[in-house]
Amino acid sequence: MPMPAESRPISFVLSRDPAALKPFYGDVLGLSLIGEDGFAIAYDLGDGAMLRLTALPSHQPAPHTAFGWSVPDIAAAVADLRAKGVAFKIYEGFAQNSDGIWTAPGGGAKVAWFPDPEGNLLSLTQFS
């Protein structure tokens, strides 16, 4: 059965301490707070989509991307986040530029990765 047309996505980023991440997701990334309870802190992603920072005390961040955003201008988005103190990852052998932006073979996408303060890997992608 397909999802009903009125369904909206909910994404989850796991955290040992969501309250400690609240300033990063709200103030640095600029997400609008929807609400919070003992299980999660919820942010509005627009168009009814939600991101929940979900408490999991034993969580260990994975080395792969946990969550990402499609952006229209990756260079501008990276510059804006750098100005707010966000550090972008540089991976050996990826041939990223000095801002940490990698261009996919064929040029179909540009991607930059950055960790939240707990180490969850987030990304920005600009599709051609």
65-113, pLDDT tens digit by residue? 999 999 999 999 999 999 999 999 999 999 999 999 999 999 999 999 9
18-57, pLDDT tens digit by residue? 999 999 999 999 999 999 998 999 999 999 999 999 999 9
Q: Is the pLDDT of residue 1 over 80?
A: no
Q: How confident is the model at residue 3 (pLDDT cuts 50, 70, 90)?
A: confident
Write down the residue that tokens 């261009």 correspond to: 103
Please provide residue 35's backbone torsions phi and psi, each rounded to the nearest 5 degrees.
175, 175
DSSP assignments along 37-56, one per residue: -SSEEEEEEETTEEEEEEE-
Check residue 68 and report its DSSP letter: E
Residues 6+ apart with CB under 8 A from 89: 100, 113, 114, 115, 121
For residue 36, count other CB atoms closer than 10 A to its CB: 15
User: How is the chain split into domains, by residue range?
Assistant: 1-59, 61-128
Q: How confident is the model at residue 127 (pLDDT cuts 50, 70, 90)?
A: very high
Please, what CATH class does the domain formed by 1-59 belong to? alpha beta
Could you check whether 1-59 and 61-128 share the same CATH topology? yes
Q: Indicate the CATH number for domain 61-128.
A: 3.10.180.10
Structure tokens at 118: 């707990």
Please provide residue 91's backbone torsions phi and psi, each rounded to the nearest 5 degrees.
-105, 130
* Neighbouring C-alpha atoms within 13 Å toward the C-beta of 32: 8
